[in-house]
């Protein structure tokens, strides 16, 4: 049985923000959410989050997780934080301690840490510059003796390059007994969780150590500078994984994946693109520069030109999108659909072979196959209170600058003359016009610009 305790009570003074530190975003998700997602993969019997600063903001933000929340007030150190959750822990279990501001710890590393269930297992790291970290003290045989916090360390101890990451696992029954013996006799006046190491050694309990596969797994966030550094590291890792899977990236340093991006074969992604949530790109999809795609599916062979925005859309194969197109939630495009520059689609389905190439708005509509939507056409779907639907059947040709006043149906094969306002259903295969009579006014003078008065 596994308990996971996540310490998330820190104020984050150096973040210079009213938001709790663990709720600041990395790769589109709060720091704490990264840790919880990793913890969930270990299938714990119990997950406890210790929170403090920010009031109920942390429990509210993480309400979707099957976790319990315990308030640490006041904050008297890491040992004191773990003490707060002891009533919720079963002694016949292992307890793993994680940190809400160390977001990129990997599941594989934690599984290695948990391989010695009867030992006190520490995750340590060797650093060329260990400044700021507690040092791992070992005897001449290499066995761990204790952890000394930097502020309490001697110059000789500070020369040690093996550091404590803070992440550890221990048998719960032993952890409970060690925490009961903690004192705050140190320069910080806090109850250090790390003091349990010396207690384990004195008791003859094995102290094992494990190292992460990557040093960035245990990097913490205490400032906006560190947050930005970790963001770039994470994005570089995402880019590397995509390259290894055969995705062509115009510049791996200019890509942001804020969720999960799944790509088929021969996918090409230009610079500055952002992918949020769950995004799937089929074989031979090309994504133009500075495009944003969120929670959408794009099927094989589709080309998305630069500066397009796509959210909660389902795009068929061999479509052409953009540049500067906006596909809003509820958009469904069938195969071989063309959506051109400055065209906006919302809550609409467009069937195979249809085109809206210029400066149009299609909202709350069902559009058939082989439809041509002329430049400047809009569906007027909102009457100020309710939304209404526009139906455009197959083989319709809509002239430029047409307004379709919903609810309305444009029948199969209809042609609508440019500049028309359509308020009633059209006749199948007929030409429909709605224009006022054109006149020329003799003697009309264009207003002249008044000369500026001299000052």
Tens-digit pLDDT profile for residues 245-258: 999 999 999 999 99
Q: Are 269 and 247 in contact, with CB atoms under 8 Å apart?
A: yes
pLDDT band at 455 (very low <50, low <70, confident <90, very high): low
pLDDT band at 23 (very low <50, low <70, confident <90, very high): very high
Q: Residue 274: pLDDT above 90?
A: yes
- Cα–Cα distance between 242 and 135 in angstroms, integer? 37
Least confident range from 51-65, 268-282, 329-343: namely: 51-65
How much is the mean pLDDT over the chain? 94
> Across residues 425-438, what is the average pLDDT?
90
What are the tens digits of pLDDT across the range 304-314? 999 999 999 99
- Cα–Cα distance between 227 and 425 in angstroms, integer? 57
- Cα–Cα distance between 222 and 445 in angstroms, integer? 69
> pLDDT over 90 for what percent of the chain?
88
Identify the sign of the CA torsion 17, 19, 25, 30.
positive
Given this model, what pLDDT does residue 438 score?
73
- Cα–Cα distance between 422 and 99 in angstroms, integer? 61
pLDDT band at 288 (very low <50, low <70, confident <90, very high): very high
Q: Residue 454: pLDDT above 70?
A: no
Q: Residue 41: pLDDT above 80?
A: yes
Helix, strand, coil distribution of the chain in percent, nearest 5: 20, 30, 50
- Residue 358: active-site member: yes
What are the tens digits of pLDDT across the range 150-171? 888 999 999 999 999 999 999 9
Given this model, what pLDDT does residue 393 score?
98
Q: Are 148 and 164 in contact, with CB atoms under 8 Å apart?
A: no
Pick the catalytic residue: 280, 303, 335, 358? 358
- Cα–Cα distance between 338 and 335 in angstroms, integer? 9
- Cα–Cα distance between 38 and 29 in angstroms, integer? 13
Beta bridge partners of 292: 274, 309
Domains and CATH numbers, the chain: 2-218 (3.90.550.10), 224-432 (2.160.10.10)
Given this model, what pLDDT does residue 437 score?
79
- Cα–Cα distance between 429 and 382 in angstroms, integer? 27
Q: Residue 35: pLDDT above 90?
A: yes
Q: Residue 453: pLDDT above 80?
A: no
What are the tens digits of pLDDT across the range 368-412? 999 999 999 999 999 889 999 999 999 999 999 999 999 999 999
């Amino acid at each position: 049985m596994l308990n996971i305790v996540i310490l998330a009570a820190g104020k984050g003074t150096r973040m210079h923000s009213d938001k709790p530190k663990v709720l600041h975003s990395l790769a589109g998700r709060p720091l704490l959410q990264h840790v919880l997602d990793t913890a969930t993969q270990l299938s714990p019997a119990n997950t406890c989050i210790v929170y403090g600063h920010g009031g109920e903001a942390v429990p509210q933000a993480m309400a979707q997780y099957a976790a319990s929340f315990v308030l640490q007030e006041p904050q008297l150190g890491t040992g004191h934080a773990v003490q707060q959750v002891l009533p919720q822990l079963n002694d016949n279990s292992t307890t793993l301690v994680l940190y809400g501001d160390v977001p990129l710890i990997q599941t594989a590393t934690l599984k290695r840490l948990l391989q010695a269930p009867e030992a006190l297992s520490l995750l340590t790291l060797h650093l060329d510059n260990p400044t700021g970290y507690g040092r791992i003290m070992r005897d001449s045989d290499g066995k761990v003796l204790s952890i000394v916090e930097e502020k309490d360390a001697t110059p000789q101890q500070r020369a040690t390059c093996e550091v404590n990451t803070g992440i550890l696992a221990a048998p719960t029954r032993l952890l409970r007994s060690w925490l009961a013996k903690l004192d705050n006799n140190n320069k910080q006046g806090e109850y250090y969780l790390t003091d349990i190491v010396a207690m384990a050694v004195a008791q003859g309990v094995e102290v094992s150590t494990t190292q992460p596969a990557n040093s960035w797994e245990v990097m913490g966030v205490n400032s906006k500078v560190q947050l930005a550094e970790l963001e770039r590291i994470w994005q570089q890792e995402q880019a590397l994984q995509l390259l290894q899977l055969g995705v062509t990236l115009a510049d791996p340093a200019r890509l942001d994946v804020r969720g999960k991006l799944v790509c088929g074969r021969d996918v090409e992604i230009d610079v500055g693109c952002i992918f949020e949530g769950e995004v799937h790109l089929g074989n031979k999809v090309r994504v133009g520069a500075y495009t944003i795609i969120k929670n959408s599916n794009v099927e094989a062979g589709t080309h998305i030109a630069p500066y397009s925005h796509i959210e909660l859309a389902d795009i068929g194969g061999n479509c052409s999108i953009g540049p500067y197109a906006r596909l809003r939630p509820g958009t469904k495009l069938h195969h071989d659909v063309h959506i051109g520059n400055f065209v906006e689609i919302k809550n609409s389905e467009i069937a195979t072979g249809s085109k809206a190439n210029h400066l149009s708005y299609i909202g709350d509509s069902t559009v058939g196959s082989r439809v041509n939507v002329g430049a400047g056409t809009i569906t007027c779907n909102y009457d100020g209170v309710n939304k209404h639907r526009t139906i455009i059947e197959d083989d319709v040709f809509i002239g430029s600058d047409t307004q379709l006043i919903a609810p309305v149906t444009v029948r199969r094969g209809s042609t609508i003359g440019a500049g028309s306002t359509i308020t009633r259903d059209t006749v199948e295969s007929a030409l429909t016009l709605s224009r006022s009579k054109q006149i020329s006014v003799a003697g009309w003078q264009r207003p002249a610009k008044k000369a500026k008065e001299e000052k």
